[in-house]
Amino acid sequence: MSSTAGQVIRCKAAVAWEAGKPLVMEEVEVAPPQAMEVRLKILFTALCHTDVYFWEAKGQTPLFPRIFGHEAGGIVESVCEGVTDLKPGDHVLPVFTGECKECRHCKSEESNMCDLLRINTDRGVMLNDGKSRFSIRGQPIYHFVGTSTFSEYTVVHVGCLAKINPAAPLDKVCILSCGVSTGLGATLNVAKPKKGSSVAIFGLVAVGLAVSFFSNTRLASNFPIQNVDADAKLVRVVSISQAAEGARIAGASRIIGVDLNSNRFNEAKKFGVTEFVNPKDYKKPVQEVIAEMTNGGVDRSVECTGSINAMISAFECVHDGWGVAVLVGVPNKDDSFKTHPMSFLNEKTLKGTFFGNYKPRSDLPSVVEMYMNKELELEKFITHEVPFSEINKAFDYMLGGASLRCIIRMEA
Dihedral through CA 29, CA 133, CA 228, CA 215, nearest 10?
A: 0
Q: What is the pLDDT of residue 210?
A: 24
**Is 218 in contact with 157 (CB distance < 8 Å)?**
no
In angstroms, the Cα distances linking 134 to 147, 152, 160, 215, 292 are 12, 12, 18, 30, 57
The residues carrying an active-site annotation are 48-50, 70-71, 100, 103, 106, 114, 118, 178, 405
Nearby residues of 373 by Cβ (< 8 Å), 6 or more positions away:
none
Q: What is the pLDDT of residue 240?
A: 63
3-state secondary structure of 123: coil
Q: pTM of the predicted model, to two decimals?
A: 0.86
Nearby residues of 131 by Cβ (< 8 Å), 6 or more positions away:
125, 140
Q: What is the amino acid identity at position 301?
A: S
Q: What is the pLDDT of residue 216?
A: 27
Q: What is the pLDDT of residue 25?
A: 98
Please calculate the CA angle 197-355-323 and round it to the nearest 5 degrees: 25
Q: How far apart are CA 128 and CA 305, in angstroms?
A: 36
Q: What is the pLDDT of residue 223?
A: 37
- Which strand (E) or helix (H) includes residue 161? strand 161-163
**Is 352 in contact with 327 (CB distance < 8 Å)?**
yes
Q: What is the pLDDT of residue 133?
A: 98
Residue numbers of the chain with a pLDDT score lower than 50: 206-238
Q: What is the pLDDT of residue 10?
A: 98
Residue 298 has what DSSP assignment?
B
**Is 230 in contact with 249 (CB distance < 8 Å)?**
no
DSSP string covering 238-261: B-HHHHHHHHHHHT-SEEEEE-S-
Of 110, 139, 104, 102, which Cα lies nearest the Cα of 26? 139
Q: What is the pLDDT of residue 53?
A: 86
Q: What is the pLDDT of residue 1?
A: 52
